[in-house]
Amino acid sequence: MTAPCSPIALQVFAHRFAAAAEEMGGTLMRAAFSSNIKERRDFSCAVCDAAGNLAAQAAHIPVHLGSMPLSVLAVMQAVPLAPGDMAVCNDPFRGGTHLPDITLVAPVYAPGEAAPRFFVANRAHHADVGGMSAGSMPLSTSLFQEGIIIPPLRLVRAGEVDRSLLSLILANVRTPAEREGDFAAQIMANLAGVARLQALMQAHGPHEMTTMAAALQDYAEALCRKAIAALPDGEYLFEDLLDSDGVATVDIPIRVRLRIRGEAMEIDFRDSADQTPGSVNAVRAITLSCVLYVLRCLLPEDAPTNAGCLRPVTLLTRPGSVVDAIFPAAVAGGNVETSQRIVDVLLGALAKAAPGRFPAASQGTMNNLTLGGYDAVRKRPFAYYETLAGGHGASAVGPGASGVHSHMTNTLNTPVEALEYACPVRVRRLAVRKGSGGSGRHCGGDGLVRELEALQPMEATLLGERRTRGPWGLDGGEAGLPGRTLLRRPGQPEVALPGKVRLQLEAGDVLRLETPGGGGFGPARVSVEVGD
C-alpha cells in the first residue's frame, strides 16, 4: 500500500495515464490499413507498470484489456527488452485471447536507468493470420488450424524491424500487404505511448510517475471493495448455455457460484463444462477479462480501471474446462462468444444478489462474419472480418438500446461504403430488426438486419450464438428473439443456416443476418378496459 495521495493529484494522473493510452489508440486507428482496425476500431491500448500490472487503459475493448497484462508478463519472462525494442505475441496460452489478436509490447525507460519503469502495449485484431479459413475464425478443432502461433518474440530491436521475423509471419497469412500495414500502425502506436510517458516522466520525475501509478491501483482497489461491500453477503448461483461448439457438442453449460463476504468476492466457475472439440473454448485470460469488466460495471463512471480492481476477487477455474482451456484447444470462438456468456452468468448471479440493479441479458454474441478470397476485379486477395451489433438488455431504469455492441466488445459497425470498398460485396440492407427485443415493463433493445450480396465467389464463415434460445429477461420480462442467418441463392428457396457454419458463396448469393434482441425487464403492463 502506497502513502496517501491528494485526491486531486490522483484524478489528474489518472487522466494523464489514460490519455497516453488514448493517444496510442488514435495513432493506431489513423495509421491502420484494414477496415477492421481503421473503421471498426477492433483494437485496444494500455499502460502497465514495471511489474506488468495494468496501470491504465483507453476506453477500448474489454475482452482485450483484462488479458493484455498477461501478454506483457509473458513478454517480460521471455524477451528482455532494451530501449527501442518491441515484442510481438498472439499465443492464447501466454496471455492472448485468440490468434487474430496480435499484441505488441514496448518498454518505457527513464533516462540513464537500467530497467523499464513502464510498458505500453496494444492489441489489434488482424483480419487474417492464416489457418484453415479466410479470416482465421474457423470451425476448428485445434489451435493449429486457426493460424500462425506467435510466441513472445522481439519484432523491433533498437528501433529497427526484424525483417526476417516479419517475413515469416507475412508468409503465413492471406493478405500480407494489409497485415504489414497494420503491424506498422501498431509500432507507431507504441512509439506514441513511449514518447508520451517519457515526456510525463521528464515533467514530473520517474519516481512520481511510478508512485502515482501504484496509488491509482490502491484507489481502484478501495473503490472495488466498497462496491462489493454494498452487495448483500451470500452465495449466488447462475447457469446459462452456449448453443454449440460448431462441431459436435450442443447446450454447453457455463455455471458460476458467486460468494460475497464483506468486501471480498469469490467467483467460482469450476462446475462449467469441459472444454469442447470445437472452438468455443476460452482461455483463463478471457475469463479474467470478463471478471474485470463486470467489476468495473459496479464502480463509479470516473473510477480508474487498473489491476487494483481485481485485488478483492478470487477467481476459481478448472483447467480443461470451457472457461479455462488447455493447449492445444481450439479457441477462435472462445474470445468472442464464450466471453459474452461468461458475462451473462456473472450479471445473472449479481441480479440475484441485488435485484433491480442489473440488466437483462444483451444479445450474448458478436455474430462474427469472415469473408475471403481473390478479388478478380481489383486483382488482389482479400480477407474481411466484422462483428454485428444487436439488442441490449433492458433494466429497471429503462429499455435496452437497439443495434449496439455490448459487454465484451466495443467496436463499431463497418460503414457500408468501407465494406463495399474493401470486398466484392454489395450491402443490400442494413436496418433495425423491429420487435426483436423482449417485451416487458421495459423492452429489450432490437437487433439488426444485414444483407450482403456476393459479387464474386468467396469463402464465408459465421460464428454466432443465441440462435437456439434468446437472451433471457429479468423480473418477469420476456426473452429477446434469437438470431438467425438465411442464405438466398438465385432461383432457389431461402435456406436457414446454423449459427456456426463455413460455406462457399457464389456471385449473386445473398446472406441475411438477423442479430438477437435483448431481454426485457419486468412484466409487461396489461391494459384492462372496463365496460359500462
Q: Which three cell numbers stand for residue 328?
A: 492445444
- On the question of a cis peptide bond just before residue 328, with omega within 30 degrees of 0, the verdict is yes
Beta-carbon contacts of 420 under 8 Å, excluding residues fewer than 6 positions away, are 426, 427
**Whole-number Å distance between alpha carbons of 326 and 317:** 12
Q: How far apart are the first and last CA of the chain?
A: 73
Nearest to 519 by CA among 384, 425, 396, 367: 396
Nearest to 219 by CA among 25, 56, 462: 56
The predicted-structure confidence for 264-274, as pLDDT tens digits, reads as follows 999 999 999 99
Beta-carbon contacts of 172 under 8 Å, excluding residues fewer than 6 positions away, are 129, 130, 147, 148
Q: What pTM did the predictor assign?
A: 0.94
| Secondary structure letter of residue 274 according to DSSP | B
Beta-carbon contacts of 112 under 8 Å, excluding residues fewer than 6 positions away, are none
Confidence of residue 422 (pLDDT cuts 50, 70, 90): confident
321: burial class by Cβ within 10 Å (0-12, 13-18, 19+)? Answer: buried
Average pLDDT, the chain: 94
Length of the chain: 532
Confidence of residue 46 (pLDDT cuts 50, 70, 90): very high
pLDDT of 532 above 50: no
Residue 67's SS3 state is coil
Neighbours of 376 (CB within 10 A): 11
Q: Do the beta carbons of residue 340 and residue 289 sit within 8 Å?
A: no
Q: How many CA atoms within 13 Å lie on the side-chain side of 478?
A: 15
Average pLDDT over residues 150-173: 98
Q: Do the beta carbons of residue 519 and residue 393 sit within 8 Å?
A: yes
Domain ranges for the chain, please list them: 7-222, 359-532
The pLDDT of residue 526: 60
pLDDT of 531 above 80: no
**Whole-number Å distance between alpha carbons of 32 and 189:** 10
**Whole-number Å distance between alpha carbons of 453 and 125:** 25
Helix count and strand count (H, E) for the chain: 10, 20
**Whole-number Å distance between alpha carbons of 504 and 497:** 13
- Return the amino acid letter for 186: Q
pLDDT of 409 above 90: no
12: burial class by Cβ within 10 Å (0-12, 13-18, 19+)? Answer: exposed
Give the torsion sign (CA, 30, 32, 37, 43).
negative
The predicted-structure confidence for 281-337, as pLDDT tens digits, reads as follows 999 999 999 999 999 999 998 889 999 999 999 999 999 999 999 999 999 999 999
Neighbours of 493 (CB within 10 A): 6
